Amino acid sequence: MTQNSIELDSIADRWARDPTALLQILREAQEIEGWLPPSTLSHLARLLGLPRARVEGVAGFYSFLHLERAGRYRVLFSDSITDRMAGNLALLDHFCKSLWLEQGKASGDGLVLADTTSCTGMCDQGPAILVNGWAVPRMTRDRIDQIVELIRTRTPVEDWPSELFRIEDNIHRSDIVLGSSLEPGEAIRAAITPALRDGQTAASDSGPRATLEAIKRSNLCGRGGAGFSTGFKWEACRRAPGEMHYVVCNADEGEPGTFKDRVLLTRYADLLFEGMTVCAYVTGARKGFLYLRGEYRHLLSPLEDVLVRRRAAGLLGEQICGHPGLGFDIEIHLGAGAYVCGEESALIESLEGKRGVPRNRPPYPVTHGYLQQPTTVNNVETFCAAALIALRGGEWYRNIGTARSAGTKVLSVSGDCARPGLYEYPFGVAVGQVLEDCGAQRTQAVQISGPSGTCIDSTEFGRRIAFEDLPTAGAFMVFDETRDIFEVARNFTHFFAHESCGFCTPCRVGTTLLRNIMDKIHRGKGSQHELNQIFRLSRLLESASHCGLGSTACNPLLDTIKRFRPTYERRLESLEFEPAFDLDGALDRARTIAGRAESGEHPGADR
């Protein structure tokens, strides 16, 4: 037996040779050699009793898993628009030149690979990089030189100065969530003794039902983007028949410009786990998962430590808080670089050890989720808010915010402002207020809720952050007058083309075409024809995409063409028709291959 196979055996054993843990096993297996050689895939397939093609198919799906030699040091430069604005490409170029590298190719000696990656959730302290999965923020030329030297001297990453990995929380405005200071167990105890809440008497109400009523009364809506009622979701899951119920926390936070969950997970893990446990109590779940995005690898062991502490304190495991009916525990799964896995059904597929391809819906996760069992999926911030509601009641919560948007929203503010970071406001805050608070000046545009959200211009800064006006999963990206909004939109089209999972043709082909069109306009080769194509593609993507990624991919273009049309037009070679590509022909062929009608037979997306 080779050393490698002994290590692989022990990794697989630690995960009980469970095929649903395939992604976790592959991730750990990759740490042995920095990539996944064919022999490793074959060995794991044997150990888990899976077809080798399945193992390779899963490994090939995730961008942080490497099927080719990737270098002892894998250095990925975050390529969010705010990283671009902070000069990430010049730093990448400097890094590559210093080490005689070609971007995207491992060096001949197998030492280094340098490339870009989608936003790593450090927009408040970019440009950021990942080194072998570990986040290094605030890159400068000096820090690049320091890293080049560490690589030249072949210093193991675990021996690099800890200062390089220091991540700031940057909380600038707190309200009920960021200002909370719950004792561990406080919300769970309130949930299991409902008389303490809302001034009710508990005589006729069982604990879970009263807690559910409080969540429903609170009017809490999901903070992950879709804004679905949390109370209705929990109720549907509670009612759904199944052998097991599950709770899943969506900590994938892949939307460029969003980083509030990173801070909640860093500082408020107890509040989050408390919310998940309250959800388990209400829905009857005994097992929970935290799906943590791979870019937040640095949070894995601190979060594991919190879970250990909570188990020791009787806040996880059997008879939580001494309650005989409450047994629940949480397992953390790490993602591996796939934005689409934030979509809840793709996330569940990924949790099951599969490629993160969104499922057909209905059925929805509340009835057929993890292993086809009833599953509640909520965002990190939603669970944090739910814990507060369990303690302080639904009435208290719904009195904060606006009539249709209860509670507060934590915003991730980045871009052209003096104080990027986290700002928590009651719903209804005006965009202009946020701009003032974060020290933004001469602002030209704000991108609300990331590339899939809305871009507004300075005439709209009186609009409000609320489900009834500007809903947001959290991102608030500021662009001042010096920025070229066309380039912002172009960066977003590259993001969608890169992150499309390729499952459905309209999105796979459409996002690539959009990217090519934007690149063509960027090169000064576009015409009115290209703008028309964008509108046609947007109709196709919106109506025929299988999930929200495809259906929102055109948003940044439509918004910016509407509000910043001159930035497009001054790049156009002519306003005359100039076909560069037969779109209909391409799509017809693709539709025929995929056996899909033009109108699309897919259910709508969730945002």
Ligand X SMILES: Cc1cc2nc3c(=O)[nH]c(=O)nc-3n(C[C@H](O)[C@H](O)[C@H](O)COP(=O)(O)O)c2cc1C
Look at residue 507 and give the partner it binds from ligand X, ligand SF4, none, a contact being a CB closer than 5 to 8 Å depending on partner kind.
ligand SF4
Look at residue 223 and give the partner it binds from ligand SF4, ligand X, none, a contact being a CB closer than 5 to 8 Å depending on partner kind.
ligand X
Instruction: Considering only the stretches 474-482, 501-509, 544-552, 563-571, report the one whose residues sit in contact with ligand X under the rule CB under 6 A.
Output: 544-552
Smallest distance from the beta carbon of 246 to ligand X, in angstroms?
Answer: 14
Q: Residue 345 interacts with ligand SF4 (CB under 6 A)?
A: no
Q: Tell me the DSSP string of 293-323.
A: -GGGGGGHHHHHHHHHHHHHTTSSBSSGGG-
**CB crowding 427-444: b at 16 or more within 10 Å, else e:** bbbbbbbbbebbebeebb
**Rounded-to-integer distance, Cα 484 and Cα 112, Å:** 33
Q: What is each CA distance from 507 to 108, 252, 499, 550, in whole angstroms?
A: 36, 21, 10, 5
Q: Looking at 233, 490, 546, 571, which residue binds ligand SF4 (CB under 6 A)? A: 546
Q: Looking at 208, 294, 550, 556, which residue binds ligand SF4 (CB under 6 A)? A: 550
Q: Residue 549 interacts with ligand SF4 (CB under 6 A)?
A: yes
The amino acid present at 488, given as its one-letter code, is V
Look at residue 471 and give the partner it binds from ligand X, ligand SF4, none, a contact being a CB closer than 5 to 8 Å depending on partner kind.
none
Instruction: Considering only the stretches 254-262, 393-401, 517-525, 541-549, report the one whose residues sit in contact with ligand SF4 under the rule CB under 6 A.
Output: 541-549
Dihedral angle, C-alpha 149, 155, 156, 158, nearest 10 °: -80
**Rounded-to-integer distance, Cα 27 and Cα 46, Å:** 17
**Rounded-to-integer distance, Cα 269 and Cα 259, Å:** 15
Q: Residue 451 interacts with ligand SF4 (CB under 6 A)?
A: no
Smallest distance from the beta carbon of 414 to ligand X, in angstroms?
Answer: 16
Smallest distance from the beta carbon of 530 to ligand SF4, in angstroms?
Answer: 22
**Rounded-to-integer distance, Cα 83 and Cα 571, Å:** 24
Q: Looking at 382, 412, 449, 454, which residue binds ligand X (CB under 6 A)? A: 382
Q: Residue 344 interacts with ligand X (CB under 6 A)?
A: yes
Look at residue 226 and give the partner it binds from ligand X, ligand SF4, none, a contact being a CB closer than 5 to 8 Å depending on partner kind.
ligand X
**Rounded-to-integer distance, Cα 438 and Cα 593, Å:** 50
In terms of C-beta distances under 8 Å and separation of at least 24 residues, what long-range contacts does 151-157 make, across chains too?
151/73, 151/99, 151/111, 151/112, 152/99, 154/72, 154/111, 157/73, 157/131, 157/132
**Smaller CB separation from ligand SF4, 406 or 549:** 549
Look at residue 222 and give the partner it binds from ligand SF4, ligand X, none, a contact being a CB closer than 5 to 8 Å depending on partner kind.
ligand X
Instruction: Considering only the stretches 77-85, 204-212, 485-493, 495-503, report the one whose residues sit in contact with ligand SF4 under the rule CB under 6 A.
Output: 495-503
Q: Residue 47 interacts with ligand SF4 (CB under 6 A)?
A: no
Q: Tell me the DSSP string of 267-301.
A: H-HHHHHHHHHHHHHHHT--EEEEEE-GGGGGGHH
Q: Looking at 137, 257, 288, 342, which residue binds ligand X (CB under 6 A)? A: 342
SS3 172: strand
Q: Residue 340 interacts with ligand SF4 (CB under 6 A)?
A: yes
- Whether 208 and 285 have beta carbons less than 8 Å apart is answered as no
* SS3 readout for 388-444: HHHHHCHHHHHCCECCCCECEEEEEEEECCCCCEEEEEECCCEHHHHHHHCCCCCEE
CA 94, distance to chain mean position in Å, is: 29
Q: Looking at 12, 136, 501, 509, which residue binds ligand SF4 (CB under 6 A)? A: 501
Residue 23 φ/ψ, nearest 5 degrees: -60, -40
Q: What is each CA distance from 466 to 180, 196, 299, 410, 430, in whole angstroms?
A: 22, 30, 30, 12, 9
Q: Looking at 122, 406, 504, 513, which residue binds ligand SF4 (CB under 6 A)? A: 504
Q: Residue 477 interacts with ligand X (CB under 6 A)?
A: no
**Rounded-to-integer distance, Cα 159 and Cα 186, Å:** 39
Q: Residue 545 interacts with ligand SF4 (CB under 6 A)?
A: yes
Look at residue 333 and give the partner it binds from ligand X, ligand SF4, none, a contact being a CB closer than 5 to 8 Å depending on partner kind.
none
Smallest distance from the beta carbon of 291 to ligand SF4, in angstroms?
Answer: 17
**Smaller CB separation from ligand SF4, 258 or 500:** 500
Smallest distance from the beta carbon of 376 to ligand X, in angstroms?
Answer: 9
CA 450, distance to chain mean position in Å, is: 11
**Smaller CB separation from ligand SF4, 353 or 358:** 358
Q: Residue 218 interacts with ligand SF4 (CB under 6 A)?
A: no
Burial class (CB in 10 A: 0-12, 13-18, 19+), 537: buried
Q: Residue 606 interacts with ligand X (CB under 6 A)?
A: yes
Q: How many CB atoms lie within 10 A of CB 13?
A: 10
Q: Residue 538 interacts with ligand SF4 (CB under 6 A)?
A: no
Look at residue 121 and give the partner it binds from ligand SF4, ligand X, none, a contact being a CB closer than 5 to 8 Å depending on partner kind.
none
Smallest distance from the beta carbon of 203 to ligand X, in angstroms?
Answer: 32
Count of residues that bind ligand X according to CB under 6 A: 25
Smallest distance from the beta carbon of 347 to ligand X, in angstroms?
Answer: 7
- Whether 148 and 96 have beta carbons less than 8 Å apart is answered as no
Q: Residue 600 interacts with ligand SF4 (CB under 6 A)?
A: no
Look at residue 211 and give the partner it binds from ligand SF4, ligand X, none, a contact being a CB closer than 5 to 8 Å depending on partner kind.
none
- Whether 129 and 136 have beta carbons less than 8 Å apart is answered as yes
Q: Residue 350 interacts with ligand SF4 (CB under 6 A)?
A: no
Look at residue 350 and give the partner it binds from ligand X, ligand SF4, none, a contact being a CB closer than 5 to 8 Å depending on partner kind.
none
Q: Residue 389 interacts with ligand X (CB under 6 A)?
A: no
Residues 230-289 touching ligand X, rule: CB under 6 A, are 250, 252-255
For tokens 């953390």, the residue is 332
**Rounded-to-integer distance, Cα 203 and Cα 201, Å:** 6
**Rounded-to-integer distance, Cα 60 and Cα 498, Å:** 14
Smallest distance from the beta carbon of 510 to ligand SF4, in angstroms?
Answer: 9
Q: Residue 45 interacts with ligand SF4 (CB under 6 A)?
A: no
Residues interacting with ligand SF4, by CB under 6 A?
Answer: 340, 358, 500-504, 507-508, 545-547, 549-550
Residues interacting with ligand X, by CB under 6 A?
Answer: 222-226, 228, 250, 252-255, 340, 342-344, 377-379, 382, 547-549, 605-607
